[in-house]
Amino acid sequence: MRVPLLALLFLFVLSLFFYFKDIFSNDWKVLFGNLATGLAGALLTFLLLESYIRHREKKLADHRRRIALRSLSLALRRHLGTLFDMFKATSTEAPDNPQRQVKPKIFFNETFYNTIVYLDFAAKAPAFPEMSWGQYLNLGFKDFIDRLESAVDKFGAGLFPGDLDLVEQLVNSRYAGMLTTRLPPSLLDGPAAMLLSVEDGGSIKYVSTKAKEYVDREMRAYHDALIELIGLVNEALLETDQETIMVVQHWEQTSAPAVGSANVRIVRPN
């Protein structure tokens, strides 16, 4: 629509120029004056129509985006449940007065990051049939990634570039990859943690400073992207008065996993 608009604007300016210049007779000046008036009306109509179309297109784009973002809600809720289970299973004790629901931005704090690295991949996970935490996370993270990709395949056309970038960061995360396709077999066979190795006698040491820094960096980048994506989805949910995504905490011991049940500092090799 830009070319017709520029053409109308050019003719309008040209008509005004000839109207105010003493080049033609009065009859021609009146003609150019009438032409300028007509073109001004056409320009105004054109601009109003363009504004209406842009507003309508934006409204439709925002509506499609809300639908697309809401389609990610279930995958995110399930994934937060898995991440809370990791935290509970590696925590040394339950909080005295825990909040039932916590905002993801508050939940993923230094305590979370410094705790889950002690997850014993060989410990029993809260799953049926029985499996290790290594296998459980392998399946859980794959399921989350599959759900994200499925939602994008169906509704991705409605997402904005920034939204797709966040989904791509999670899908292609090296941290998620470490827990899925690149999970070392050793983590499925014996007591071992993400950043630690268990030596004879039960003493614990970091595998290496370089490995510690690498996993910590990738882990934080993963959760930062997750928090940002949840924030966008929550905005879409609020606009339609739907329940926002929170970390639902079940600290009671009657709810699996038990507190500390997969902490490599507590669960010693036989």
Alpha-helix runs per DSSP H in 71-184: 73-90, 104-107, 110-116, 133-155, 161-171, 174-179
Residue 58: predicted pLDDT: 76
Q: Are 219 and 87 in contact (CB under 8 A)?
A: no
Rounded to the nearest 5°, which phi and psi values hold at 9? -65, -40
30-57 confidence digits (pLDDT tens): 666 666 677 777 777 777 777 777 777 7
| Closest C-alpha to 218, from 166, 179, 174 | 174
Distance, in Å, from the CA atom of 105 to the CA atom of 245, rounded to the nearest integer, reads 11
On whether both 104 and 214 belong to a single domain, the answer is yes
On whether both 93 and 26 belong to a single domain, the answer is no
On whether both 156 and 187 belong to a single domain, the answer is yes
User: For residue 7, how many other CB atoms are within 10 A of its CB?
Assistant: 10
Distance, in Å, from the CA atom of 104 to the CA atom of 43, rounded to the nearest integer, reads 50
Of 23, 41, 62, at which residue does a domain stop? Answer: 62
Q: Is residue 67 part of a domain?
A: no
Domain that holds residue 168: 72-248
On whether both 45 and 85 belong to a single domain, the answer is no
Joined together, the tokens standing for residue 141 give 């993270």
On whether both 189 and 238 belong to a single domain, the answer is yes
Q: Is residue 254 part of a domain?
A: no
On whether both 45 and 87 belong to a single domain, the answer is no
Q: Is residue 267 part of a domain?
A: no
Residue 215: predicted pLDDT: 85
Of 62, 93, 110, at which residue does a domain stop? Answer: 62
On whether both 140 and 42 belong to a single domain, the answer is no
List, in order, residues 6 or more apart from 21 with CB less than 8 Å away: none
Q: Is residue 253 part of a domain?
A: no
Distance, in Å, from the CA atom of 42 to the CA atom of 223, rounded to the nearest integer, reads 53
On whether both 223 and 107 belong to a single domain, the answer is yes
Distance, in Å, from the CA atom of 46 to the CA atom of 53, rounded to the nearest integer, reads 11
Residue 201: predicted pLDDT: 52
List, in order, residues 6 or more apart from 240 with CB less than 8 Å away: 66, 70
238-269 confidence digits (pLDDT tens): 998 999 999 999 999 889 999 999 998 775 55
C-alpha distances in angstroms, 181 versus 134, 211, 258?
A: 12, 18, 27
Q: Is residue 257 part of a domain?
A: no
SS3 of residue 199 by DSSP: coil
Q: Is residue 269 part of a domain?
A: no
On whether both 123 and 44 belong to a single domain, the answer is no
DSSP for residue 124? B
Q: Is residue 197 part of a domain?
A: yes
- Count of structural domains, the chain: 2
Per-residue pLDDT of the chain (270 residues; tens, 9 = 90+): 565 666 666 666 666 666 666 665 566 666 666 666 777 777 777 777 777 777 777 778 788 999 999 999 999 999 999 999 999 999 999 988 888 999 999 999 999 999 998 888 888 999 989 998 988 999 999 999 999 999 999 998 899 999 999 999 999 999 998 888 655 555 444 556 766 665 545 555 667 778 788 888 999 999 999 999 999 999 999 998 999 999 999 999 889 999 999 998 775 554
Q: Is 76 exposed, middle or buried (0-12, 13-18, 19+ CB in 10 A)?
A: buried
Residue 29 CA neighbour count, 13 Å, CB half: 8
| Closest C-alpha to 127, from 82, 97, 171 | 82
Rounded to the nearest 5°, which phi and psi values hold at 250? -120, 90
On whether both 93 and 162 belong to a single domain, the answer is yes
Q: Is residue 138 part of a domain?
A: yes
On whether both 201 and 132 belong to a single domain, the answer is yes
Of 16, 35, 62, at which residue does a domain stop? Answer: 62
- Strand pairing partners for 121? none
On whether both 42 and 173 belong to a single domain, the answer is no
